[in-house]
Protein backbone atom coordinates (compact mmCIF):
# COMPACT_ATOMS: atom_id res chain seq x y z
CA UNK A 1 0.00 0.00 0.00
CA UNK A 2 1.52 3.38 -1.03
CA UNK A 3 2.53 5.69 1.73
CA UNK A 4 2.64 9.49 1.26
CA UNK A 5 5.51 11.17 2.98
CA UNK A 6 6.13 14.82 3.64
CA UNK A 7 9.86 14.26 3.10
CA UNK A 8 10.99 15.25 -0.42
CA UNK A 9 12.06 12.37 -2.60
CA UNK A 10 15.46 12.73 -4.26
CA UNK A 11 15.32 13.12 -8.03
CA UNK A 12 16.30 10.12 -10.08
CA UNK A 13 20.08 9.81 -10.34
CA UNK A 14 20.71 12.24 -7.49
CA UNK A 15 22.93 11.05 -4.69
CA UNK A 16 22.25 12.00 -1.11
CA UNK A 17 25.03 11.99 1.46
CA UNK A 18 25.30 12.83 5.07
CA UNK A 19 27.14 16.01 6.06
CA UNK A 20 30.88 15.45 6.67
CA UNK A 21 32.01 14.46 10.12
CA UNK A 22 34.54 16.54 12.03
CA UNK A 23 37.46 14.39 10.83
CA UNK A 24 36.29 14.55 7.20
CA UNK A 25 35.84 18.33 7.39
CA UNK A 26 39.38 18.73 8.71
CA UNK A 27 40.70 16.53 5.90
CA UNK A 28 38.88 18.66 3.31
CA UNK A 29 40.37 21.84 4.80
CA UNK A 30 43.88 20.33 4.69
CA UNK A 31 43.39 19.32 1.06
CA UNK A 32 42.18 22.83 0.19
CA UNK A 33 45.18 24.37 1.94
CA UNK A 34 47.50 22.02 0.03
CA UNK A 35 46.02 23.14 -3.29
CA UNK A 36 46.42 26.80 -2.25
CA UNK A 37 50.09 26.23 -1.33
CA UNK A 38 50.71 24.39 -4.61
CA UNK A 39 49.15 27.24 -6.63
CA UNK A 40 51.19 29.80 -4.68
CA UNK A 41 54.45 27.95 -5.38
CA UNK A 42 53.63 27.67 -9.09
CA UNK A 43 52.77 31.39 -9.24
CA UNK A 44 56.04 32.33 -7.51
CA UNK A 45 58.02 30.08 -9.83
CA UNK A 46 56.43 31.67 -12.91
CA UNK A 47 57.04 35.17 -11.50
CA UNK A 48 60.68 34.32 -10.76
CA UNK A 49 61.13 32.97 -14.29
CA UNK A 50 59.67 36.14 -15.81
CA UNK A 51 61.83 38.43 -13.64
CA UNK A 52 65.03 36.43 -14.12
CA UNK A 53 64.75 35.72 -17.83
CA UNK A 54 62.35 38.22 -19.39
CA UNK A 55 61.30 41.36 -17.46
CA UNK A 56 63.24 43.04 -14.71
CA UNK A 57 61.95 46.00 -12.69
CA UNK A 58 64.56 48.75 -12.32
CA UNK A 59 64.73 52.20 -10.78
CA UNK A 60 66.15 55.07 -12.80
CA UNK A 61 68.78 57.01 -10.85
CA UNK A 62 69.80 60.39 -12.18
CA UNK A 63 68.49 62.93 -14.67
CA UNK A 64 70.47 62.06 -17.82
CA UNK A 65 67.40 60.62 -19.61
CA UNK A 66 64.96 63.43 -18.82
CA UNK A 67 62.35 64.20 -19.96
CA UNK A 68 61.81 60.64 -21.29
CA UNK A 69 62.75 59.07 -17.94
CA UNK A 70 62.86 60.93 -14.65
CA UNK A 71 65.01 60.39 -11.58
CA UNK A 72 63.54 57.61 -9.35
CA UNK A 73 61.11 56.48 -12.04
CA UNK A 74 60.37 52.74 -12.04
CA UNK A 75 60.40 50.85 -15.32
CA UNK A 76 60.43 47.30 -16.68
CA UNK A 77 63.40 46.20 -18.76
CA UNK A 78 62.93 43.40 -21.29
CA UNK A 79 66.03 41.20 -21.04
CA UNK A 80 64.93 38.73 -23.73
CA UNK A 81 63.90 40.98 -26.63
CA UNK A 82 67.36 41.24 -28.20
CA UNK A 83 67.48 37.47 -28.61
CA UNK A 84 64.58 37.87 -31.03
CA UNK A 85 65.24 41.21 -32.72
CA UNK A 86 68.21 43.50 -33.33
CA UNK A 87 69.01 46.65 -31.41
CA UNK A 88 67.83 49.69 -33.39
CA UNK A 89 68.45 53.42 -33.40
CA UNK A 90 66.15 55.09 -30.90
CA UNK A 91 66.03 52.13 -28.50
CA UNK A 92 66.55 53.00 -24.85
CA UNK A 93 68.94 50.34 -23.60
CA UNK A 94 70.29 49.25 -20.23
CA UNK A 95 73.94 48.21 -20.17
CA UNK A 96 76.88 47.62 -17.88
CA UNK A 97 79.00 50.75 -17.62
CA UNK A 98 82.18 50.02 -19.65
CA UNK A 99 84.45 51.64 -17.06
CA UNK A 100 82.87 49.81 -14.12
CA UNK A 101 80.72 46.80 -15.12
CA UNK A 102 79.28 46.60 -11.59
CA UNK A 103 77.20 49.68 -12.47
CA UNK A 104 74.33 49.87 -14.96
CA UNK A 105 73.52 52.82 -17.22
CA UNK A 106 70.49 53.62 -19.34
CA UNK A 107 70.83 55.62 -22.58
CA UNK A 108 69.40 55.93 -26.09
CA UNK A 109 71.05 54.32 -29.13
CA UNK A 110 71.80 56.96 -31.78
CA UNK A 111 74.25 55.08 -34.03
CA UNK A 112 75.07 51.46 -34.76
CA UNK A 113 78.06 49.45 -35.93
CA UNK A 114 79.45 50.85 -39.20
CA UNK A 115 77.72 54.23 -38.82
CA UNK A 116 79.78 57.41 -39.01
CA UNK A 117 78.76 59.80 -36.25
CA UNK A 118 79.76 63.33 -35.41
CA UNK A 119 78.30 66.10 -33.27
CA UNK A 120 78.64 69.76 -34.29
CA UNK A 121 77.59 72.24 -31.62
CA UNK A 122 75.06 69.81 -30.21
CA UNK A 123 73.61 68.69 -33.57
CA UNK A 124 74.03 64.96 -34.14
CA UNK A 125 74.93 63.71 -37.63
CA UNK A 126 74.83 60.03 -38.59
CA UNK A 127 76.32 59.16 -41.98
CA UNK A 128 76.36 62.90 -42.79
CA UNK A 129 72.62 63.29 -42.17
CA UNK A 130 71.32 65.51 -39.36
CA UNK A 131 69.30 63.49 -36.86
CA UNK A 132 65.92 64.91 -35.87
CA UNK A 133 65.78 64.26 -32.13
CA UNK A 134 62.29 65.25 -31.02
CA UNK A 135 62.94 63.49 -27.70
CA UNK A 136 65.50 66.18 -26.80
CA UNK A 137 63.65 69.44 -25.99
CA UNK A 138 65.60 72.69 -26.51
CA UNK A 139 66.02 73.13 -22.74
CA UNK A 140 67.95 69.83 -22.58
CA UNK A 141 70.41 70.40 -25.43
CA UNK A 142 74.01 71.50 -25.14
CA UNK A 143 76.64 72.83 -27.55
CA UNK A 144 79.19 70.04 -27.21
CA UNK A 145 80.89 68.71 -30.31
CA UNK A 146 82.35 65.29 -31.03
CA UNK A 147 84.74 64.47 -33.88
CA UNK A 148 83.56 62.14 -36.61
CA UNK A 149 84.13 58.50 -35.78
CA UNK A 150 82.97 55.17 -37.14
CA UNK A 151 81.18 52.96 -34.64
CA UNK A 152 83.12 49.68 -34.30
CA UNK A 153 81.67 46.26 -35.11
CA UNK A 154 79.13 44.94 -32.58
CA UNK A 155 79.02 48.31 -30.82
CA UNK A 156 76.57 51.19 -30.35
CA UNK A 157 76.92 54.91 -29.79
CA UNK A 158 74.58 55.95 -26.96
CA UNK A 159 73.53 59.35 -25.64
CA UNK A 160 71.37 60.58 -22.79
CA UNK A 161 68.34 62.66 -23.76
CA UNK A 162 69.38 65.36 -21.26
CA UNK A 163 72.53 66.22 -23.19
CA UNK A 164 73.86 68.80 -20.75
CA UNK A 165 73.62 66.32 -17.82
CA UNK A 166 74.68 63.05 -19.44
CA UNK A 167 77.79 60.92 -19.17
CA UNK A 168 77.56 58.87 -22.37
CA UNK A 169 79.46 57.69 -25.46
CA UNK A 170 80.88 61.20 -25.86
CA UNK A 171 82.83 60.41 -22.70
CA UNK A 172 83.36 56.61 -22.62
CA UNK A 173 83.01 55.75 -26.31
CA UNK A 174 80.76 53.25 -28.09
CA UNK A 175 79.31 50.41 -26.02
CA UNK A 176 79.98 46.83 -27.05
CA UNK A 177 76.86 44.73 -27.57
CA UNK A 178 78.07 42.26 -24.91
CA UNK A 179 77.50 44.98 -22.28
CA UNK A 180 73.87 45.62 -23.32
CA UNK A 181 71.44 43.40 -21.44
CA UNK A 182 67.99 44.91 -21.89
CA UNK A 183 65.59 47.37 -23.44
CA UNK A 184 63.45 49.81 -21.43
CA UNK A 185 59.87 48.98 -22.40
CA UNK A 186 57.32 50.07 -19.80
CA UNK A 187 57.08 52.60 -16.99
CA UNK A 188 54.97 51.68 -13.97
CA UNK A 189 55.72 54.39 -11.39
CA UNK A 190 54.85 57.19 -10.78
CA UNK A 191 51.28 56.74 -11.99
CA UNK A 192 51.39 59.70 -14.39
CA UNK A 193 54.28 58.00 -16.19
CA UNK A 194 52.61 54.60 -16.61
CA UNK A 195 52.93 53.40 -20.18
CA UNK A 196 55.32 52.43 -22.91
CA UNK A 197 58.80 53.95 -22.74
CA UNK A 198 59.57 55.97 -25.87
Catalytic residue status for 64? yes
Spatial CB neighbours of 183, under 8 Å, sequence gap ≥ 6? 77, 78, 81, 82, 87, 91, 92, 93, 94
* Closest-CA residue to 156 (of 137, 172, 143): 172
**One of 25, 43, 64, 155 is an active-site residue; which one?**
64
CB 146 within 8 Å of CB 119: yes
**One of 68, 107, 155, 166 is an active-site residue; which one?**
107
8-state DSSP, 53: I
CA angle 79, 81, 96 (to 5 degrees): 40
* Closest-CA residue to 72 (of 61, 81, 85): 61
Count Cβ atoms within 10 A of the Cβ of residue 106 and give its class: 0-12 exposed, 13-18 middle, 19 or more buried: buried
Residues with catalytic roles: 64, 107
Amino acid sequence: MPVNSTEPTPAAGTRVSAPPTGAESSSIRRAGFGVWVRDLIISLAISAFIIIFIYQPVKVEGTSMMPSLEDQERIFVNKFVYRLEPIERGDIVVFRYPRDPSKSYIKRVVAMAGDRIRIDGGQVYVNDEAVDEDYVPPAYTDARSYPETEVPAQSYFVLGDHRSMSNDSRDFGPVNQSFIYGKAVFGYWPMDKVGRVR
